[in-house]
Amino acid sequence: MSSTAYMLNGFDVANTHKVEPHMQELIAQRAKRLGPSYKLFYEHPVHFVRADGVYLYDSNGTPYLDVYNNVPSVGHCHPRVVEAVTRQMSTLNSHTRYLNEGILSYAEQLLSTFPQEMSNVMFTCTGSESVDLAMRVARFNTKGTGFIVTRNAYHGITASVAEISPTMGPHVPVGQHVRMVKAPDAYRTAPGVDVDTEFAQEVERAINELERHGIRFAGMIVDTVFSTDGLFPHPAGFLRKAVDVVHQRGGLFIADEVQPGFARLGDSMWGFQRHNILPDMAVMGKPMGNGLPIAAVVAKPELLVEFGNKVRYFNTFGGNSVCIAAAQAVLDVIMDEKLQDNSKNMGAYILKGLRELTAGHSGVGDVRGSGLYLAVEFVKDKQTKEPDGEFALKLVNALRENRVLISATGPAGNSLKIRPPLPFTRENSDEFLDIFKMTLEQIS
């Protein structure tokens, strides 16, 4: 890579001459107008002009099966979301300092999917803004500044949130008030050791560390399926001991549901529910509006009383009528199309298929997942479990050439990240498994 910014599956602009002329032109325009922060996926980038359901179409009309994008979670261009947004945009798009009904009925319905103790919601525009707000609320209530995150966590891009996102790489310093813990990786946990006990001990050590440095503990935030650490859904329940430690030590537990939330994991609407825990706050974003920028913090109301009365917080676009209309349509579609069930059933079907397909493959260390969020972990050796990021990247790029969109995850990028839109059918799953099998054979 010409660039040193850490990114899995990125295009190296030094290879621009290798791609089609019309792409070269677009890449040159990007460099000229948008600058080097804008990275493309794949050794051979893709250019889409249309999308529908679980397919994206390039400028030749060629379809690509989407097994990666979690923002258009109820399917690309879902007609009910389009219709709801169009209707609301034609009627009213107001902020929250005028009274409006839509935000209240949506809030009620959203909160009904949470434990009753978490009965307040505040709306923002992005997951980053939500994490930033949750951190402010945690610090305000605990009078602490110290946070605990996992070693390869990603929580967002504001200055404050970047400090708790070690996956940003060496040029974005982890905050001096932040301590990192080993993620609860069941595949790599030593035999005889419980994942939950080990993780709880890690957290306890980190809190001790913070306090030894005079940093008051504010809380722990984790993605409840550990998306960027490598995807660790099992055994469900393993978070409970660590969360108990956080609470015993006076901290708050924030569930980052930006990726696992909104029925993605099949078992439940929210990732934390699989662990039978009660977070103090939960943050959500990406799939909430199927692509319209809306995000939220759901919290125990007692955390917002003094904060809300003393700290001015107004998010201009947060909770505006149009973004709420999109979110309402998404929630309705999840319920009406039974997408949580579909995620559970299709996820189990794909998981079984992947296990069968890879059973004899010497490079596949583990296949795991929950609902339509799955990982195939590649290793150089099944005994040492040495990660094989190179092979995973090769597979990601070969799948792209075979018109399946996917990416990789984990600190070594050695786990295939399988995360299609939720209305993925049996037919889509078979198409994916067939192409996966063929592609794996091509490159093995």
Q: For the segment 105-164, give every residue that binds a copy of itself (CB under 8 A).
A: 107-108, 111, 119-122, 125-129, 132-133, 135-136, 157-160, 162
Task: Report helix, strand or coil for 103.
Answer: helix
Nearer to a copy of itself, 7 or 433 (CB): 7
Residue 222 structure tokens: 């984790």
Does the protein bind a copy of itself through residue 81 (CB under 8 A)? yes
Nearer to a copy of itself, 135 or 418 (CB): 135
Nearer to a copy of itself, 17 or 97 (CB): 97
Q: Which of 54, 55, 76, 351 binds a copy of itself (CB under 8 A)?
A: 76
Residue 88 structure tokens: 């609301």
Q: Which stretch binds a copy of itself (CB under 8 A): 87-95, 360-368, 418-426, 433-441?
A: 87-95
**Minimum distance of a copy of itself from residue 293's CB (angstroms):** 4
Q: Which of 308, 394, 398, 403 binds a copy of itself (CB under 8 A)?
A: 308
**Minimum distance of a copy of itself from residue 173's CB (angstroms):** 11
The maximal CA–CA distance of the chain, rounded, in angstroms, is: 62
Total residues interacting with a copy of itself, rule: CB under 8 A? 104
Site for a copy of itself in 160-199 (CB under 8 A): 160, 162, 168-169, 171-172
Nearer to a copy of itself, 120 or 409 (CB): 120
**Minimum distance of a copy of itself from residue 398's CB (angstroms):** 18
Does the protein bind a copy of itself through residue 402 (CB under 8 A)? no
Nearer to a copy of itself, 148 or 354 (CB): 148
Phi and psi, residue 290, nearest 5°: 55, 25
Nearer to a copy of itself, 299 or 372 (CB): 299
Which helix (H) or strand (E) element contains residue 150? strand 146-150
Site for a copy of itself in 241-270 (CB under 8 A): none
How far is Cα 101 from Cα 84, in angstroms, rounded to an integer?
Answer: 15
Show the CA angle centred on residue 297, arms to residues 7 and 238, nearest 5°: 70
Does the protein bind a copy of itself through residue 322 (CB under 8 A)? yes
Count the alpha carbons within 13 Å of 357 in the hemisphere toward its beta carbon. Answer: 20
| 184-196 core/surface letters (b: 16 or more CB in 10 A; e: else) | bbbbbbeeeeebb
Q: Helical H runs in 286-388?
A: 302-310, 321-336, 339-358
**Minimum distance of a copy of itself from residue 377's CB (angstroms):** 23
Q: What is the residue whose two structure tokens read 């310093």?
A: 173
Site for a copy of itself in 23-42 (CB under 8 A): 23, 26-27, 29-30, 32-41
Q: Which stretch binds a copy of itself (CB under 8 A): 21-29, 218-226, 354-362, 411-419?
A: 21-29
Start-to-end CA span in the chain (Å): 24
Q: Are 53 and 423 in contact (CB under 8 A)?
A: yes
Does the protein bind a copy of itself through residue 72 (CB under 8 A)? yes
How far is Cα 96 from Cα 98, in angstroms, rounded to an integer?
Answer: 5
Q: Which of 184, 251, 266, 291 binds a copy of itself (CB under 8 A)?
A: 291
Phi and psi, residue 122, nearest 5°: -120, 135
Whether the link from the prior residue into 235 is cis, omega within 30° of 0, is yes
